[in-house]
Protein backbone atom coordinates (compact mmCIF):
# COMPACT_ATOMS: atom_id res chain seq x y z
CA UNK A 1 0.00 0.00 0.00
CA UNK A 2 1.33 3.43 -0.91
CA UNK A 3 2.26 5.49 2.11
CA UNK A 4 2.54 9.14 3.05
CA UNK A 5 5.11 10.97 0.94
CA UNK A 6 4.66 8.87 -2.22
CA UNK A 7 3.60 10.46 -5.46
CA UNK A 8 -0.02 9.51 -6.15
CA UNK A 9 -0.16 7.46 -9.38
CA UNK A 10 -2.30 9.16 -12.00
CA UNK A 11 -5.27 7.27 -13.42
CA UNK A 12 -8.12 7.65 -15.83
CA UNK A 13 -11.35 5.84 -14.96
CA UNK A 14 -14.96 6.00 -16.05
CA UNK A 15 -17.36 7.71 -13.65
CA UNK A 16 -20.29 7.23 -16.01
CA UNK A 17 -20.52 5.38 -19.35
CA UNK A 18 -19.41 8.52 -21.17
CA UNK A 19 -17.41 10.45 -18.61
CA UNK A 20 -13.84 9.71 -17.69
CA UNK A 21 -12.12 11.22 -14.66
CA UNK A 22 -8.37 11.69 -14.35
CA UNK A 23 -6.60 12.34 -11.08
CA UNK A 24 -4.76 15.12 -12.95
CA UNK A 25 -8.11 16.91 -13.45
CA UNK A 26 -7.98 17.84 -9.77
CA UNK A 27 -4.53 19.38 -9.76
CA UNK A 28 -4.51 22.24 -7.24
CA UNK A 29 -7.22 20.60 -5.15
CA UNK A 30 -6.97 18.02 -2.41
CA UNK A 31 -8.38 14.61 -3.34
CA UNK A 32 -9.77 11.86 -1.13
CA UNK A 33 -9.71 8.37 -2.67
CA UNK A 34 -12.00 5.88 -0.94
CA UNK A 35 -11.36 2.36 -2.26
CA UNK A 36 -14.05 -0.10 -1.20
CA UNK A 37 -14.85 -3.73 -2.01
CA UNK A 38 -18.25 -3.52 -3.66
CA UNK A 39 -21.40 -1.50 -4.32
CA UNK A 40 -24.48 -2.65 -2.38
CA UNK A 41 -22.77 -4.54 0.42
CA UNK A 42 -24.07 -3.14 3.74
CA UNK A 43 -20.89 -1.74 5.25
CA UNK A 44 -19.74 0.06 2.12
CA UNK A 45 -23.15 1.57 1.74
CA UNK A 46 -22.94 3.07 5.18
CA UNK A 47 -19.45 4.34 4.42
CA UNK A 48 -20.47 5.99 1.14
CA UNK A 49 -23.68 7.31 2.73
CA UNK A 50 -21.60 8.91 5.47
CA UNK A 51 -19.25 10.59 2.98
CA UNK A 52 -22.29 11.75 1.04
CA UNK A 53 -23.43 13.69 4.12
CA UNK A 54 -20.00 15.21 4.53
CA UNK A 55 -19.42 16.83 1.16
CA UNK A 56 -19.74 20.33 2.58
CA UNK A 57 -17.07 19.50 5.20
CA UNK A 58 -14.75 18.22 2.47
CA UNK A 59 -15.33 21.28 0.32
CA UNK A 60 -14.35 23.48 3.27
CA UNK A 61 -10.92 21.92 2.87
CA UNK A 62 -11.04 22.29 -0.92
CA UNK A 63 -11.17 18.52 -1.23
CA UNK A 64 -12.94 16.30 -3.75
CA UNK A 65 -13.89 12.75 -2.74
CA UNK A 66 -13.86 9.88 -5.27
CA UNK A 67 -15.12 6.38 -4.50
CA UNK A 68 -13.39 3.51 -6.34
CA UNK A 69 -14.33 -0.15 -6.66
CA UNK A 70 -14.08 -2.81 -9.36
CA UNK A 71 -17.80 -2.58 -10.09
CA UNK A 72 -18.82 -1.52 -13.60
CA UNK A 73 -20.14 1.95 -14.49
CA UNK A 74 -23.68 0.59 -14.81
CA UNK A 75 -23.55 -0.91 -11.35
CA UNK A 76 -22.17 2.38 -9.99
CA UNK A 77 -24.95 4.33 -11.72
CA UNK A 78 -27.66 2.18 -10.17
CA UNK A 79 -26.04 2.23 -6.72
CA UNK A 80 -25.34 5.93 -6.80
CA UNK A 81 -28.90 6.69 -7.93
CA UNK A 82 -30.42 4.48 -5.27
CA UNK A 83 -28.39 6.09 -2.46
CA UNK A 84 -28.59 9.59 -3.96
CA UNK A 85 -24.82 9.98 -3.85
CA UNK A 86 -23.48 13.36 -4.93
CA UNK A 87 -19.88 12.42 -5.67
CA UNK A 88 -18.33 10.26 -8.40
CA UNK A 89 -17.88 6.51 -8.09
CA UNK A 90 -15.11 5.31 -10.39
CA UNK A 91 -15.07 1.93 -12.10
CA UNK A 92 -11.72 0.16 -11.73
CA UNK A 93 -13.19 -2.40 -14.07
CA UNK A 94 -11.00 -2.86 -17.15
CA UNK A 95 -8.23 -3.88 -16.78
CA UNK A 96 -9.77 -5.08 -13.56
CA UNK A 97 -8.32 -3.55 -10.42
CA UNK A 98 -5.46 -1.82 -12.23
CA UNK A 99 -5.68 1.38 -10.18
CA UNK A 100 -6.27 -0.50 -6.93
CA UNK A 101 -3.11 -2.48 -7.70
CA UNK A 102 -1.13 0.70 -8.43
CA UNK A 103 -2.09 1.97 -4.96
CA UNK A 104 -1.35 -1.43 -3.40
CA UNK A 105 -4.87 -2.06 -2.21
CA UNK A 106 -6.12 -4.89 -4.45
CA UNK A 107 -7.21 -8.10 -2.78
CA UNK A 108 -6.14 -10.93 -5.15
CA UNK A 109 -8.15 -13.50 -3.23
CA UNK A 110 -11.56 -11.82 -3.47
CA UNK A 111 -10.87 -9.93 -6.69
CA UNK A 112 -12.02 -6.68 -5.06
CA UNK A 113 -10.41 -3.50 -3.80
CA UNK A 114 -9.54 -3.46 -0.14
CA UNK A 115 -11.19 -0.86 2.07
CA UNK A 116 -8.58 1.88 1.98
CA UNK A 117 -8.42 5.65 2.19
CA UNK A 118 -5.91 8.05 0.65
CA UNK A 119 -5.75 11.79 1.10
CA UNK A 120 -3.74 13.39 -1.72
CA UNK A 121 -2.61 16.98 -1.37
CA UNK A 122 -2.91 19.69 -3.99
CA UNK A 123 0.55 18.85 -5.34
CA UNK A 124 -0.35 15.23 -6.00
CA UNK A 125 1.49 13.75 -3.06
CA UNK A 126 -0.08 11.24 -0.68
CA UNK A 127 -0.52 13.02 2.64
CA UNK A 128 -2.21 10.17 4.51
CA UNK A 129 -3.30 6.62 3.84
CA UNK A 130 -5.22 4.09 5.87
CA UNK A 131 -6.13 0.46 5.36
CA UNK A 132 -9.29 -0.52 7.23
CA UNK A 133 -10.35 -4.05 8.14
CA UNK A 134 -12.75 -5.01 5.33
CA UNK A 135 -15.75 -5.37 7.65
CA UNK A 136 -15.22 -2.06 9.41
CA UNK A 137 -16.44 1.29 8.16
CA UNK A 138 -13.49 3.58 8.91
CA UNK A 139 -15.59 6.72 9.38
CA UNK A 140 -14.20 10.09 8.37
CA UNK A 141 -12.25 11.43 11.33
CA UNK A 142 -8.92 10.29 9.86
CA UNK A 143 -9.69 12.05 6.57
CA UNK A 144 -10.55 15.31 8.31
CA UNK A 145 -7.43 15.15 10.50
CA UNK A 146 -5.31 14.68 7.37
CA UNK A 147 -7.00 17.58 5.58
CA UNK A 148 -6.48 19.72 8.66
CA UNK A 149 -2.75 18.89 8.57
CA UNK A 150 -2.52 19.88 4.90
CA UNK A 151 -4.24 23.17 5.66
CA UNK A 152 -1.69 23.97 8.38
CA UNK A 153 1.26 23.62 5.98
CA UNK B 1 -9.00 4.54 19.12
CA UNK B 2 -11.61 7.18 18.43
CA UNK B 3 -12.61 9.44 21.27
CA UNK B 4 -15.47 11.82 21.95
CA UNK B 5 -14.67 15.32 20.69
CA UNK B 6 -15.57 17.64 22.31
CA UNK B 7 -16.40 16.09 25.69
CA UNK B 8 -19.83 16.58 27.21
CA UNK B 9 -20.67 20.09 28.32
CA UNK B 10 -23.69 22.00 29.55
CA UNK B 11 -24.80 22.31 25.92
CA UNK B 12 -25.51 18.58 25.89
CA UNK B 13 -28.66 16.75 26.92
CA UNK B 14 -27.65 14.44 29.72
CA UNK B 15 -29.72 12.19 31.97
CA UNK B 16 -27.58 11.72 35.01
CA UNK B 17 -27.44 11.57 38.75
CA UNK B 18 -24.44 12.71 40.71
CA UNK B 19 -23.47 9.17 41.59
CA UNK B 20 -23.11 8.05 37.96
CA UNK B 21 -19.80 6.29 37.32
CA UNK B 22 -20.22 5.37 33.65
CA UNK B 23 -20.88 7.94 30.93
CA UNK B 24 -22.66 6.76 27.79
CA UNK B 25 -23.12 9.01 24.76
CA UNK B 26 -25.22 8.02 21.77
CA UNK B 27 -25.00 9.62 18.33
CA UNK B 28 -28.36 8.94 16.77
CA UNK B 29 -30.73 9.74 13.93
CA UNK B 30 -34.49 9.82 14.64
CA UNK B 31 -35.34 8.20 11.32
CA UNK B 32 -32.67 5.50 11.42
CA UNK B 33 -34.32 2.11 12.00
CA UNK B 34 -31.30 0.79 13.93
CA UNK B 35 -31.56 3.74 16.32
CA UNK B 36 -35.27 2.98 16.67
CA UNK B 37 -34.38 -0.61 17.58
CA UNK B 38 -31.75 0.56 20.05
CA UNK B 39 -34.10 3.01 21.79
CA UNK B 40 -36.00 0.53 24.04
CA UNK B 41 -32.75 -1.24 24.90
CA UNK B 42 -31.14 2.02 25.97
CA UNK B 43 -34.19 2.54 28.20
CA UNK B 44 -33.71 -0.93 29.64
CA UNK B 45 -30.03 -0.20 30.29
CA UNK B 46 -31.04 2.99 32.09
CA UNK B 47 -33.58 1.09 34.21
CA UNK B 48 -31.17 -1.72 35.02
CA UNK B 49 -28.23 0.43 36.00
CA UNK B 50 -30.14 3.39 37.33
CA UNK B 51 -27.97 5.97 39.00
CA UNK B 52 -24.74 4.27 37.98
CA UNK B 53 -24.88 5.53 34.41
CA UNK B 54 -25.36 8.86 32.76
CA UNK B 55 -26.77 8.97 29.25
CA UNK B 56 -26.37 11.74 26.71
CA UNK B 57 -27.69 12.05 23.16
CA UNK B 58 -26.14 13.94 20.23
CA UNK B 59 -27.78 14.37 16.85
CA UNK B 60 -26.31 12.63 13.84
CA UNK B 61 -28.99 13.02 11.15
CA UNK B 62 -28.16 11.44 7.77
CA UNK B 63 -30.13 13.95 5.74
CA UNK B 64 -29.60 12.43 2.31
CA UNK B 65 -30.68 8.99 3.42
CA UNK B 66 -33.46 10.10 5.79
CA UNK B 67 -35.52 13.13 4.76
CA UNK B 68 -37.13 13.59 8.22
CA UNK B 69 -34.00 13.07 10.28
CA UNK B 70 -32.92 16.70 10.26
CA UNK B 71 -36.37 18.22 10.96
CA UNK B 72 -36.81 15.66 13.74
CA UNK B 73 -33.49 16.71 15.29
CA UNK B 74 -34.61 20.35 15.07
CA UNK B 75 -37.87 19.43 16.82
CA UNK B 76 -36.01 17.77 19.69
CA UNK B 77 -33.69 20.75 20.08
CA UNK B 78 -36.60 23.18 19.88
CA UNK B 79 -38.34 21.20 22.65
CA UNK B 80 -35.13 21.47 24.66
CA UNK B 81 -35.52 25.24 24.71
CA UNK B 82 -38.67 24.62 26.74
CA UNK B 83 -36.93 22.05 28.91
CA UNK B 84 -38.54 19.07 27.21
CA UNK B 85 -35.78 17.54 25.11
CA UNK B 86 -36.22 14.02 26.46
CA UNK B 87 -40.00 14.13 26.15
CA UNK B 88 -39.62 14.98 22.45
CA UNK B 89 -36.75 12.51 22.01
CA UNK B 90 -38.94 9.71 23.36
CA UNK B 91 -42.00 10.82 21.40
CA UNK B 92 -39.97 10.82 18.16
CA UNK B 93 -38.73 7.28 18.69
CA UNK B 94 -42.12 6.06 19.89
CA UNK B 95 -43.59 7.40 16.64
CA UNK B 96 -40.69 6.63 14.33
CA UNK B 97 -42.85 4.41 12.10
CA UNK B 98 -44.99 7.39 11.13
CA UNK B 99 -42.42 10.19 10.97
CA UNK B 100 -43.61 12.84 8.52
CA UNK B 101 -43.50 16.58 8.01
CA UNK B 102 -46.73 17.23 9.91
CA UNK B 103 -46.01 15.09 12.96
CA UNK B 104 -43.78 17.50 14.87
CA UNK B 105 -46.48 19.97 15.85
CA UNK B 106 -48.71 17.11 16.92
CA UNK B 107 -45.96 15.68 19.16
CA UNK B 108 -45.17 19.14 20.52
CA UNK B 109 -48.82 19.50 21.50
CA UNK B 110 -48.90 16.04 23.09
CA UNK B 111 -45.93 16.78 25.33
CA UNK B 112 -47.37 20.16 26.26
CA UNK B 113 -45.13 22.67 24.53
CA UNK B 114 -45.96 26.27 23.81
CA UNK B 115 -46.65 25.69 20.11
CA UNK B 116 -45.97 29.16 18.86
CA UNK B 117 -42.57 29.21 20.54
CA UNK B 118 -41.86 25.68 19.34
CA UNK B 119 -42.56 26.60 15.70
CA UNK B 120 -40.34 29.65 15.95
CA UNK B 121 -37.48 27.81 17.64
CA UNK B 122 -37.69 24.94 15.13
CA UNK B 123 -36.76 27.42 12.42
CA UNK B 124 -34.13 29.39 14.28
CA UNK B 125 -30.54 29.56 13.09
CA UNK B 126 -29.31 28.78 16.60
CA UNK B 127 -31.15 25.44 16.74
CA UNK B 128 -29.91 24.53 13.28
CA UNK B 129 -26.36 25.29 14.37
CA UNK B 130 -26.75 23.09 17.45
CA UNK B 131 -27.72 20.12 15.24
CA UNK B 132 -24.89 20.89 12.80
CA UNK B 133 -22.36 21.13 15.59
CA UNK B 134 -23.55 17.78 17.01
CA UNK B 135 -23.09 16.25 13.54
CA UNK B 136 -19.63 17.74 13.21
CA UNK B 137 -18.64 16.46 16.64
CA UNK B 138 -19.78 13.00 15.50
CA UNK B 139 -17.66 13.18 12.39
CA UNK B 140 -14.66 14.33 14.44
CA UNK B 141 -15.26 11.59 16.98
CA UNK B 142 -15.21 8.86 14.32
CA UNK B 143 -18.93 8.08 14.11
CA UNK B 144 -19.23 5.61 11.24
CA UNK B 145 -22.93 4.87 11.36
CA UNK B 146 -25.89 5.25 13.67
CA UNK B 147 -26.30 4.53 16.43
CA UNK B 148 -22.69 4.96 17.62
CA UNK B 149 -21.99 4.76 21.33
CA UNK B 150 -19.17 6.21 23.43
CA UNK B 151 -18.39 4.86 26.88
CA UNK B 152 -16.43 7.19 29.13
CA UNK B 153 -15.32 9.14 26.08
CA UNK B 154 -14.10 6.24 23.96
CA UNK B 155 -15.89 4.83 20.93
CA UNK B 156 -17.60 1.56 21.82
CA UNK B 157 -16.96 -1.06 19.19
CA UNK B 158 -20.35 -2.74 19.01
CA UNK B 159 -24.11 -2.34 18.99
CA UNK B 160 -26.49 -1.61 21.84
CA UNK B 161 -26.81 -5.26 22.84
CA UNK B 162 -23.04 -5.57 23.08
CA UNK B 163 -23.09 -2.45 25.20
CA UNK B 164 -25.73 -3.94 27.51
CA UNK B 165 -23.69 -7.14 27.81
CA UNK B 166 -20.49 -5.24 28.55
CA UNK B 167 -22.19 -3.22 31.31
CA UNK B 168 -23.66 -6.37 32.87
CA UNK B 169 -20.26 -8.04 32.87
CA UNK B 170 -18.49 -5.06 34.36
CA UNK B 171 -21.16 -4.81 37.08
CA UNK B 172 -20.58 -8.41 38.18
Query: pLDDT truncated to tens, each residue of chain B (172 aa)?
Result: 789 999 999 999 999 888 899 999 999 999 999 999 999 999 999 999 999 999 999 999 999 889 999 999 999 999 999 999 999 999 999 999 999 999 999 999 999 999 999 999 999 999 999 999 999 999 999 999 999 999 999 999 999 999 999 999 988 7
Q: Quick check: A138 and B144 CB within 8 A?
A: yes
Residue A75 is among the residues annotated as catalytic for this protein: no
Asked if the structure places residue B2 within a domain, the reply is: no
**Nearest residue, CB atoms, A137 vs list B64, B139, B145:** B145
What distance in Å separates the CA atoms of residue B146 and residue A105, rounded to the nearest whole number? 27
Q: Compute how many other C-beta atoms are within 10 angstroms of the C-beta atom of residue A145.
A: 13
Is residue B168 within 8 A of residue B22, CB to CB? The reply is: no
A contact test, residue of B4, B29, B59, B139 with most A CBs within 10 A: B139
Element (H, E) at A131: strand A126-131
Cβ contacts of A53 on chain B, cutoff 8 Å: 62-65, 135
The residue range of the domain holding B113 is: 22-171
Buried b (16+ CB within 10 A) or exposed e, B59-76: bbbbbbbbebbbbbbbbb
Q: Count contacts between A and B (CB, < 8 Å).
A: 46
In chain B, how many domains are there? 1
Q: Is A47 on the interface with B (CB under 8 A)?
A: yes
Asked whether residue B62 is domain-assigned, the answer is yes
Of B3, B5, B57, B61, the residue nearest B32 (C-alpha): B61
CB-based contact A95:A60 (threshold 8 Å): no
Out of A46, A53, A144, the one facing B63 most closely (by C-beta) is A53
B65 belongs to a structural domain: yes
CA distance B162 to chain A (A): 16
Say if B6 falls within a structural domain. Answer: no
Q: How far is B138 from chain A (nearest CA, A)?
A: 9
Task: Using an 8 Å CB-CB cutoff, list chain A residues near B66.
Answer: none
Residue A54 at interface with chain B, using a CB cutoff of 8 Å: yes
Asked if the structure places residue B5 within a domain, the reply is: no
In this prediction, residue A140 carries a pLDDT of: 94
CATH number at residue B145: 3.40.30.10
B44 domain residue, yes or no: yes
Backbone angles phi, psi at B126, to 5 degrees: -65, -45
B12 part of a folded domain: no
B7 belongs to a structural domain? no
- Name all domains of chain A by residue range, CATH numbers in brackets: 28-134 (3.40.30.10)
Q: How large is the ipTM?
A: 0.82
For residue A43, the model assigns a pLDDT of 67
**What residues of chain B lie within 8 A of the CB of A84, using their CB?**
64-65
Amino acid sequence: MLEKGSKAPDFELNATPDQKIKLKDFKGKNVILAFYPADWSPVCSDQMALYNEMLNYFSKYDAQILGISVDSVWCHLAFSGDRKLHFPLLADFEPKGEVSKAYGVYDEETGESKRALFVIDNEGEIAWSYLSPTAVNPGADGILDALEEIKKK
Amino acid sequence: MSTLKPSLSDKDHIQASESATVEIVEFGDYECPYCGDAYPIVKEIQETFGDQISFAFRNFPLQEAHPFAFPAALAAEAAAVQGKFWEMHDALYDNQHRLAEDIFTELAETIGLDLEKFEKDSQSEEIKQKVDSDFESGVRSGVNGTPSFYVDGTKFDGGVLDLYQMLKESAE
